Every structure is written in C-alpha cells, then in structure tokens.
Structure 1
C-alpha cells in the first residue's frame, strides 16, 4: 500500500465563525485541577493522554490523528517538549495480527505535538483498526471505516449528527451514546466543538458543571491549543473519536461569538488585538487538534462521497461572510452581502448540479430555513431572541443565519428549482434546538408554493437552550413559543426547544430519515439516551414527514 504522513503546520489565512448566546455574570468556579495537567505520578516517558481519532474518510484511505505528550511538562499550548518520532499502524483486526499499513511521522512543539497520518491504499467500505506508538508505548486502539467507491451502488449510510458542546454547561453524553452505535459509518460534527468564553460567562458561574481551562477567554494560539486539549481529555469525546471517523466543520465558537470575515461580536480590536491574528491562531489550533483535512486556503468546505448514494457537501460559513446586518436596516437583502463568499457558493452550486448521487446532503453550521416570529410573550421572546441571534426587541429575521443573507439563499434555492435538483437535505446545528423543516421557494405563500429542499437541525450536546436559560422544567414554558413559531412558519413541521442530544441520519435510495435522541440530564456524566421523534424525506418529494419509529 501507499501512504502519506501529514503533520499539520501553520495556517495563516484570516477568517471567522458565529452564534449569539446569553452573556451572564462574569465569575469563576473552582471545580478541580486543570485537565491539561499530566498526573503527578507520570513517568518521564511519552504518553497518549488525548486519545486517538480519525476523520474525512475516502474509499481508499482515512486521516488518522493523535497527540503525544513526550514529557510531563509538554502540556497543550506550552510549547515545551522534544521532537518525537511516532509510528502508526493500520490493521484489519483489533489484535494487529493482519497489519495492512505502517508509517512514521514526527510530533513537534511547533504543531503542539499533534500528528496526522493521511493513510491511503485501503479497501473501500471496510472497517479498520489503528494505533500509534512511541517506542514501546502504544496509544489506545482506534476504529475507523472507509467510504464506498465513488461509483458503488451503496445500499445505505448512517451518520451520527451533533453540534454545540459547551464544556462548562455539562458532560458530553451524546458522544458516548454515539460511540456505542458501531453500525454508524461516521459522525458529522456541525460546529461549536469548543467555546471561547471565559469561565463563568456562559453559563453563569452558579451553573458551571466543570471549569474551562484556561479560565480566561481564549485569544492566543496557546489559549486555543489548551482549550482543544481539555476537550480531548473528555472520556466521551475520546470514545466517539476512537470508534468512528468524524467529519467536522466549524461554526463561530471555535473562534469567537458571531464571527464574520473581519471580526466578531465577541472581539474588541481595542482591547483584544488584531482579528486576523486571532483567527489565524484559532484555525491553526483547529487543524492541529481536529481530524480534518484543510481545503483551499485553509478552510473547511469540501466534499465527502458515499458511492452513488450520497454526496456530502460541507460548508464554511465563517471565513468569507459579510458582517451581520444591522437590525431592521434592510441590508439583509443587499446582493453585495454574502454568507458563503462567491467562490464557495459557485462551488456548492456546481457540485449540486453535477452530482449523480441519489442524495445531496449539505452540512451547514447555521439554519437556512427562513423563520419569522408570530406573537410571542415578552418573557419568551428574550431568551428565544438570544438563542436565534436576535436583539431583545425581536424582529422577523435572524441576521446571523441565512435569514441575514437572503440574496445568497435565494440564489441557491433558485438554482435547486431551476435545475430540478432533487433530494437536497440540509444538516444543521448551531441554535440548540431540534427542527424538521421544508425549505420553501417562497415562505410567504407556502404550502401553495413549492419546497426546494428539506432541513434537519439537531439540538446541542450540552449548550444552553430555552429551559436552561429560563431555569424552568423542559417542555413547559417553551411550548407557547414553539406553537407560535410553527403557526407563523408553516414549513416548520416540528421543533424541540428544550432537549440536549444528537441525531442519527439513515440514508437509503428510498429516503433520508433523521432519528432524534435526547439525553436525560446534561449535568450527569452517566446520562441515559432515549428516542423522541423521527422525520424523513422520501425520494423526490422535497418535503419532511413524520415517522413513528426510528430506523433501529
């Protein structure tokens, strides 16, 4: 077999990310020792404290990842520790008696001692096992899977789907439950893998479950590396990464809240320095710590194909977007404003038109479905506005989502309609709620007008939603808001404003079905999981319909 070892180096192109949430009182909560610290009893020998991961699978290969701690003081972001040679192996069995590939690379301080191996020469649609080693010290064993051949008639594909994992708000139980589902082909992470806030800012200190490290807002390369390092110590995150290839895109909190190409809501040049430098640092740390191949100019927009069954188009909605429009200004309709950038929108349109796959899946970090407000009581409008990115007064448009960039959305939806592109399904995270939507050509006249696509939105892994912000029991107060939103938006078929959890998307030639699962308690590291709803899009319909049982 052939292989290519790839150690991620500096990425210098500026760019941003997004999402607005409540800014609570600033305080700190002492909840134990920093998780980036190496145990005091650790010997002076290399270790794999941050687990292993794989991502961006291909028919003949996959990207493997780990982080080596060569000496106890070489913690993430420290810049300490010697260059260390790291070997990797890929095998057909857990015991590594049938090894099909080997290679070496070097962990260096300049890349925070993270390493990647871009392995090729594997068989399509096959499960493999992998591990790294330094001398006689082995990493945990990881499991991964390649995709079907590009021209293969794949019978089905299943993804776990997650977004918005706030360390301080709770544990990452959805990751653990996805790790237990060994039938999945991959996990799709739709952004907000980390949050940039200082400790006690979101949620407020009294509700912090476990403390950020570093405790201040992250701004520098060392800060972002440290925060990523903490997340890779989470046992549920390690389990998910060790079991499935992860296909990830970023949203705003990998950088700063409501980021755009020239800044962010949560960034002040006067007190926090140059935005381009902060974004470059955040991107560099992201590519070091995530099992992701950077595409053109260090962005994350790219495609992953699953035979002739599905093309997955992944978007970067932070690097090229215009600044969010002022509220009520009419700027949302300005054709010179963009959420994708011209090159990315053309890339997406051409890819959708050229695809011969049965399903065109689009991973988007923010919701494309238009949303207008009906009549909501003031006490419900405020937390809903915060989650959707609206000012407290409330208006009909969320200017951080596609609602704030209507010309790009109109061009894309018109392209789908005019070219008779069928079976486009948007997969979305960001707003800490679960939705099942038709994507109408003209929302004001729907359902008399056509639906051009459908959208499945998954809720958060742990980040605050309506009941968390109001500190009330789930599915009580929010039912009024949900009813009003559905009444004002007939293309919205279902939404859950209160739960935390994940989705499982099952795709066959006949339909794409999203099964929605919720966890019992985000503050409980042993939280259970249960199925709540399922919706599907049948081949050729461009509409969602309820299903009364999950696929499995």
Structure 2
C-alpha cells in the first residue's frame, strides 16, 4: 500500500480492515433524522466527511454496578480542536445487553466542550455485576462504533475465572499496533495498560517504522496542551488500538512518556527545564491524558497534581492496586541510568510512592480478603543486575534505585501475610517473569510473591527472537528471573482460585502490519505456594 493510501486508511476514512469484528452493527456509522429510531443504521453504512468519532470509543474502570464510557469528538484528529467547532456539542449515549441494542438498559446525554477537547466521560451506574454490555454514542445524525464492556463481580462473590490482559509502551513511530489487534480478539474481561500509552517525542516526517508521513506540527516534542492533544489524536486514530479499546474495559495508569522521559515528582529529566516550567508541562500532559482515556478520577485535572492511584476488586478472586510510581517519587540519584556502587539509592528517606500512597497501599493489602493481591504498576520490582561480572549495575529509575522504598513494600507484604502477592510491570520493552525475594542477593531467601513484566507493544522496534531465557529457567546473574524475551506483544493472565497462569504473547515484527501472534512462554503461580512453575 502506498504512503498516501495508508495514511488515509489509518488517519481518515474507512479502514480497509474490519474495524472490530463483532458484526455489521459495529460499523453502522451514518444515520438519518427521517428514521423512526435515530439509532437505526441505513442499509448501506457510510461515513460523512465530518464524521466526529474518528478516535473510536472506550470504556474503563469497571465496578460491580458501573463503568466509565468514553469518546472524544474529532473529525480531524490531527488538529488541536480535532476539527470541531468551538462550542459545546450534545452527545447522546446508550448501553444495552446485546450488540444489536434490542435490550437497552441505560441511555442519556451529555455535553462535549472545547475546554476538554470535546471529550466525553460518562460514569454509568445501576448496572448488574459481572455482566457484559454494549454501548455507543451519537452526535447529531452520526453514530459511533459499538464497544463491548463488562462490570466487575460483586465484592463478596467468588468468581471461578478472570481473563485479564496487560500491555505497555506503544511508540507510534516504532511500528504497527498489531499486538493490540490480537489482544482485542482475546475478548478479555479487563485490560490493564501500565504506562507509555503515548510517547512525547517529536516524530520524523517519514513516520519512522510506519513509513507514514505526518504533518510538520509533529516534529517538536510535546509540551503544550494543544501539542499533547494532537499526539493523542495521531495515536488514537490507529484502528488496532481502537479495536482493543472496543473489546473490553481498560484500567490505565501512566509512566514517564505520557509527560517527559524519566520525569520524577516535580522534576523534569536531566534538569532540561525549570521546576516551574516542568509543572506547567506536567499539568498539560495530565489534562490530555484524562481527556483521551476512560478513567474515573476524584476530580477533573485542574493543576499540577492529579491522584491516579486507585483500587479495583473482582470479587474475592483478585484485588488490583493501581499505582502511580512517577508523581510522588524522589528524583533519581547518581545521574540516573545504570550505576555501580550508588550509595544514595540506599537512603532510607527516599520514596517511590510518597508517604500517603505507600500507606494507602499497605493498609489496603492488610485489609484485603482477595485470593490474589496485585500491584498493577509501571516498573520492575525484582532486582535486575545488568553486569554479568562481580559488580552490581542497577537502574536508578527502577525500584532498585529506591531500595528502602522497595524493602518497605516487600516487608509490609510479608508482615501482613498478604495472600498471593503479584506485581505487574511494563517499561523495559522486555518480557520478564521473576520471584520476589526477601533478599535478592540471597537466592535461598524466602520467596514472597511473583512478578510479571510485559514487553512493549512497539517500542524498540522489531525486537530479537533469539534473545531470552526459556520459561522455567534461571538467569545466571539474576537467579530469581525465571523467563525473559526481547520481542513485542502483550500478556494475558488466566486467573482462578487455584492458580494464576501468565502467557507472554509475542509478534515477530512491528515494522509492517498484520504480524501473526504466538505464545513465547507460560508460567504458573499456585495458590498459597509462592514462586513460579511451568504449566
């Protein structure tokens, strides 16, 4: 496909590929006011030139009785206002028990305003627990694609199964989002995105590995609200990402690239900008993040601080603590990067989560009655020594750079006898599975829980299928690591009361679309038996 045609397919008109795969109802996008029911499609669906749902639909933050529904009106997503008029626009929504919308259960309307990038966040309540629903929006005579969502089980329910997927690190210019398409086909109960949903970097004219030219306004790095908005417009125009959002509710948290690379608390990377200027950039980034994702926050982002850490319970089976490891941390020490003999990393006063979030996490873990207790967060907690020799080279940006903070969390888990601790992470562009140790320098020390680190969707390019450790092996330097691979993809977790099974799904390439998917490795954690096993 030539560049102009590919750009049109990706950023504008009807995609060549089936946009979702439910039924034709998911693509019934053009409607007329003369119909008895304005939600009913014409017999021959077609998008108008000003179709406002170019960025698709999404749902998120599922509760037993509710879920967030999201869309953002944008007829021209690569413009700061998305090509929409500067004024508020009425948006209607409806939710049903079937994708044909014959069994409607909720409907309503709201306003999309330019102050919030014409984004729409609807917190639908009064729903039934553990129930599949379908939803859509309408603006004027135009109707959105159909999305599938699902509520969480009741708090005291004992579900026998939960299929969860997680992903992270999706640089648009590094490749195609085929992994998202495969994730959508899995139809998980819930998807966790663990950070780097976008990258703030400027994009070269050629579009990088996609070879899809982008306009001049993408050359510079994101800093203003308008610049972040068009970055999201480009990323969210991708049909494979839209398909993954339409397939299941998402629970999201940010890492660094939603703002600036390796930012920490009130500090930008490497002292490149003043603290005052960085807080303005950070506020713009937080605002754009909220505008473009189906997230339930205590309050709309208005200043430099936004609380994003929160907790989700899936009956008595699993409880997920969604963390923010960026906003409250101390600055990286010893110049950041990988360092040997960096004593300041041991400072007991250093924090990764901040006092309030750390207390919230440990108190919640102590009260939890769930079988599996999960930390859904951004960065690796297992110690990772990057030096194959006797020296110990550790990353100052990971939990290793905040050793006292990591020890407080792991010690707190042990003291509270938390049931089956599981840590999820992204960031590294590698797949890892490891065992959380009481003392990572002593392989014989107690195993407290397990960690699964997911690779990138695209970041880092194609990867290398020849690199890695087979599932169930032991890394010679980091013996608590039981699996690794350097390929792109996502992770699925099949959770039952008796075991947690993790499958690392990979694609062989991302520099061209439509790559096949395979399972590179699988590992199992058993209820009440800390550690990792092969199935």
Tell me which interval the TM-score lies in, with the shorter structure as reference length.
0.7 to 0.9
Match of 1:232 in 2: 236
2:424 to 427, 435, 447: 427
Match of 2:350 in 1: 337
Distance 1:134 1:146 in 2: 25
Unmatched 5+ stretches in structure 1? 1-28, 378-393, 469-473, 548-552
**Does structure 2 retain, via aligned residues, the 8 Å contact 1:178–1:240?**
yes
Higher relative contact order (CA 8 A, sep 6+): 1
Match of 2:510 in 1: 522
**Does structure 2 retain, via aligned residues, the 8 Å contact 1:36–1:229?**
no
**Does structure 2 retain, via aligned residues, the 8 Å contact 1:422–1:542?**
no
- The Cα shift of 1:37 comes to 7.1
- The Cα shift of 1:541 comes to 1.4
Q: Aligned pair count?
A: 490
Match of 1:277 in 2: 280
Match of 1:452 in 2: 448
Summarize the Cα distance change of 1:529–1:43 in structure 2 as closer, same or farther, 3 Å threshold: closer
Summarize the Cα distance change of 1:196–1:73 in structure 2 as closer, same or farther, 3 Å threshold: closer
Unmatched 5+ stretches in structure 2? 15-45, 300-304
Summarize the Cα distance change of 1:71–1:218 in structure 2 as closer, same or farther, 3 Å threshold: closer
**Does structure 2 retain, via aligned residues, the 8 Å contact 1:51–1:139?**
yes
Match of 2:106 in 1: 101
TM-score (norm 1): 0.83
Summarize the Cα distance change of 1:86–1:36 in structure 2 as closer, same or farther, 3 Å threshold: farther
1:399 to 375, 396, 399: 396
What value does the CA root-mean-square deviation take over the aligned residues?
A: 3.0
Does residue 221 in structure 1 map to residue 225 in structure 2? yes
Match of 1:135 in 2: 140
**Does structure 1 retain, via aligned residues, the 8 Å contact 2:471–2:523?**
no
**Does structure 2 retain, via aligned residues, the 8 Å contact 1:423–1:539?**
yes
For residues 337-396 of structure 1, the C-alpha deviation after alignment (integer angstroms, 9 at most, x for no partner) is 11110110101001111000000011010000011234279xxxxxxxxxxxxxxxx952
Does residue 531 in structure 1 map to residue 519 in structure 2? yes
Does residue 313 in structure 1 map to residue 321 in structure 2? yes
- The Cα shift of 1:84 comes to 0.5
For residues 219-241 of structure 1, the C-alpha deviation after alignment (integer angstroms, 9 at most, x for no partner) is 11001111111111100011111
**Does structure 2 retain, via aligned residues, the 8 Å contact 1:59–1:125?**
yes
**Does structure 2 retain, via aligned residues, the 8 Å contact 1:91–1:130?**
yes
Summarize the Cα distance change of 1:56–1:73 in structure 2 as closer, same or farther, 3 Å threshold: closer
Q: Secondary structure at the match of 1:350?
A: helix
Match of 2:156 in 1: 151
Distance 1:153 1:101 in 2: 27
Summarize the Cα distance change of 1:200–1:263 in structure 2 as closer, same or farther, 3 Å threshold: farther
- The Cα shift of 1:485 comes to 8.9
Summarize the Cα distance change of 1:229–1:76 in structure 2 as closer, same or farther, 3 Å threshold: farther
- The Cα shift of 1:134 comes to 1.5
- The Cα shift of 1:69 comes to 3.0
For residues 412-462 of structure 1, the C-alpha deviation after alignment (integer angstroms, 9 at most, x for no partner) is 11111122222000011110001110010011111x210111101111100
**Does structure 2 retain, via aligned residues, the 8 Å contact 1:160–1:186?**
yes
Does residue 264 in structure 1 map to residue 260 in structure 2? no
For residues 247-271 of structure 1, the C-alpha deviation after alignment (integer angstroms, 9 at most, x for no partner) is 111100000100101223266216x
Distance 2:108 2:160 in 1: 33
Summarize the Cα distance change of 1:404–1:485 in structure 2 as closer, same or farther, 3 Å threshold: farther
List aligned pairs for 1:481-500, cutoff 5 A. 486-496=475-485, 498-500=486-488
1:436 to 433, 437, 441: 433
Summarize the Cα distance change of 1:95–1:371 in structure 2 as closer, same or farther, 3 Å threshold: same
Distance 1:263 1:347 in 2: 24
**Does structure 1 retain, via aligned residues, the 8 Å contact 2:78–2:234?**
no
Match of 1:418 in 2: 415
Distance 2:77 2:241 in 1: 22
For residues 8-63 of structure 1, the C-alpha deviation after alignment (integer angstroms, 9 at most, x for no partner) is xxxxxxxxxxxxxxxxxxxxx99986999766998575521110000000111100
Distance 1:42 1:95 in 2: 19
For residues 475-513 of structure 1, the C-alpha deviation after alignment (integer angstroms, 9 at most, x for no partner) is 44x4599999911111111111x2111110111111111
Summarize the Cα distance change of 1:530–1:269 in structure 2 as closer, same or farther, 3 Å threshold: same
List aligned pairs for 1:161-176, cutoff 5 A. 161-176=166-181
Summarize the Cα distance change of 1:304–1:209 in structure 2 as closer, same or farther, 3 Å threshold: farther
